[in-house]
Structure 1
């Protein structure tokens, strides 16, 4: 049977082991992340599963079934620095609860092979979100990814190598796709929509597309006291103008835009800013809307740089188009929610998820959201009502049964347990 309270206990224990007073610290390839994976492995000892790591560093738990066709349930144990206790880890431990139930109900041999995957570096420690799942989907460019660095200057290639992963072989993870028939993911919403609607759960239509760039504006350093305002080539002024325009352009086109990090040089009180480096993240569910956001941002930057006597360089950090999920699994997800609670809704996902990369690989994908209190995530205050967490695991469990029936061609709705 489904042991819902064990899932809560495991999630809280994971937090106790891998967090400090500032929040979760399971940044990919760090000691707390390795500890999280070790804790997960320790919970598998009583299950008839095999455990493996693919060439990209994704962690797989496989429960063999009567059919070689595979149903995947995915999540990620890594977190952002000072992150929340549920982001990613709920997916993994809810999937583990489903594996336990299937193993018990089918005497260790469900109708299809079921695989639980903990994707590597979903959060994008190096600016490249969804690293592990993009390797599996074939969307990863290892040469470009290897040159990315984190905020401390550590390269992705070096961090992976230290963890025993050869980035040049990461695309070999795609070999796992051979028997994949469907993919399911449960995640906290990370936004306020479900809370505003008074609903605990929703089914996800797909993920918004993302344009993410690192922009460097170069002006000229000059003495802060002796340089007249009209004689300055101040790189920070360009960012200031863009930051004001961002909200206006996003209101015109829809979607969301975020300037997420800013560094300046020489970075002293007595000098005009010579270089200003910042990131711009833009998201939209419509491809045309996403393109309009980035096109307009580039035009505004070029104009501001020309007016301020500055130059501009742009490097792409990450790009992915909008990704719709499979209509049959959207419908199945909605019915699974209605199996456990009276109301359901359909909504897009602004945040990226590994489910998007799996869908891009051509694997039918479905996803559920559970309500986030206050819409908070990537924050130590991230939380979800315990009752809603229990409902979400039950809904994932029901969706699993529906997905297995869909894979095997048995369209009859599985009986309620």
Structure 2
């Protein structure tokens, strides 16, 4: 059974039919459509001589035992955002499934190293606001007490949602045992951005995932009547916030990163009052840790300056952060060699979005990702798309990278 990338495309379309509607993919983690997607995967894995199980965090594993207990992991996620695209996450899993089929046939069910396919649970964080749930449980960067506080918009707790699929939140950290023999980790993903399309290239090798700083910035002014308060004496918190909204673009350009003010909340929030309090959420991302820290410092300095100019004050709060995660240089080289075996040129680029690969890498497992071009750079949207021929190329590239990674694992000295 040779590798059949066309079958991957057909399975992606079948999964879209099973778990989507006119608005897009609906495989939100721990919901019934997500369970349908898991059953779809299991049905196909049942055709292979693989051991299957769900770990204590809810991640699903298929293991093709090899000559060595050292393991090559291939990962992805079947869950989607609401009204999501047909490729985000599930391409990774179904491409990995096709690679498993080829390895099983070529090596009569026993490749040189053990190869494992994993469907990580709740990569998106769309329901509970906490991305990388399953992979962080495996990496050890996981706090069950904090996770127990999470609720979805309907008031359902994460613990209750997990119980629906047979998982206990307090058991989730036990998933760390799954990485005990991991020697390398590979992940294929759509780019979710415009870089490769802009370059006219189908595939790219990923340097790592950017660091992320998420904070609140709150401007404190003074409420006053909108009709009787002269413009020049107002302490308008929204005015200071508006100046910062423009300044973050300058900060991003200066450091070569990205900055986003994603939400704005004002109080008292009525048409007849000057804004007394304005709270912003700020998301900043960069592949370089020093540059990321400088961006956050610049944002704080600018906020204080604009607050002072308007007779206001500023305060700052922490939401969440993750450091930049650089992937393994030798596996990056292997990824580039796999791409150029199929196409004339590759491109190295960082990942702006977070991926499960970041958690696996910071657990100490040598990691690499492949990106395939996204049309219009759009993702998390029903119009998300990639050319069929590029999807097929990406499956081939993952397959070639798998062979290179297995050879690399065999060549490592193990004490």
TM-score, scaled to structure 2: 0.90
Q: Which residue of 2 aligns with 1:60?
A: 61
Report deviation, 1:168. 3.0
Q: Which runs of 5+ in 2 are unaligned?
A: none
Label 1:81 to 1:280 Cα distance change in 2 as closer, same or farther (>3 A). Answer: farther
Q: 1:299 aligns with which of 273, 298, 301?
A: 301
How big is each residue's C-alpha offset from its partner over 1:360-413, in whole Å with a ceiling of 9 and x where there is no partner? 1111111111111121112222111100100000010111111111112299xx
Other-structure match for 1:78 = 79
Q: Cα deviations across residues 57-116 of structure 1 (Å, max 9, x unaligned)?
A: 212111222221111000111222222111111101100111111122222222211111
Distance 1:194 1:61, change over 3 A: same
Q: Determine the structure 2 residue equivalent to 1:183.
A: 185
Equivalent residue for 1:212, pick from 211, 214, 217:
214
More deviation, 86-95/309-318: 309-318
Q: CA RMSD in A?
A: 2.5
Secondary structure of the 2:341 match is: helix
Match of 1:414 in 2: none
| Correspondence 1:320 to 2:322 | yes
Alignment partner of 1:91 is 2:65: no
Q: Find the counterpart in structure 1 of residue 405 from structure 2.
A: 403
CA distance in 2, matches of 1:309, 1:362: 49
In structure 1, what is the Cα distance between the partners aligned to 2:156 and 2:220?
24
For residue 183 of structure 1, report the CA deviation from its aligned partner. Answer: 0.4
Residue number in structure 1 paired with 2:46? 45
What CA distance in whole angstroms lies between the structure 1 residues aligned with 2:220 and 2:155? Answer: 21
Name the residue aligned to 1:236: 238
Q: Distance in 2 between matches of 1:161 and 1:312?
A: 42
- CA distance 1:169–1:266, shift in 2 (3 Å): farther
Comparing 100-109 with 215-224, greater Cα deviation is found at 215-224
Instruction: Tell me by how many angstroms 1:29 deviates.
Output: 2.4
Call closer, same or farther: CA 1:331–1:265 in 2, change over 3 Å. Answer: same
Once the 2 structures are TM-superposed, how far is the Cα of residue 195 of structure 1 from its aligned partner?
1.5
Q: Which moved more, 1:62-71 or 1:294-303?
A: 294-303
Would the alpha carbon gap of residues 227 and 127 (structure 1) be closer, same or farther in structure 2, given more than 3 Å must change?
A: farther
Paired position in structure 1 for 2:290: 288
Assess if the C-alpha contact under 8 Å between 1:225 and 1:270 holds in 2.
yes
Alignment of structure 1 residues 100-115 onto 2, 5 Å: 100-115=101-116
Specify whether residues 27 and 269 from structure 1 end up closer, same or farther in structure 2 by C-alpha distance, changes over 3 A only.
farther
Match of 1:386 among 377, 385, 388: 388
Q: 1:36 to 1:262 in 2, by over 3 A?
A: farther
Structure 1: gaps of 5 or more residues? 412-417
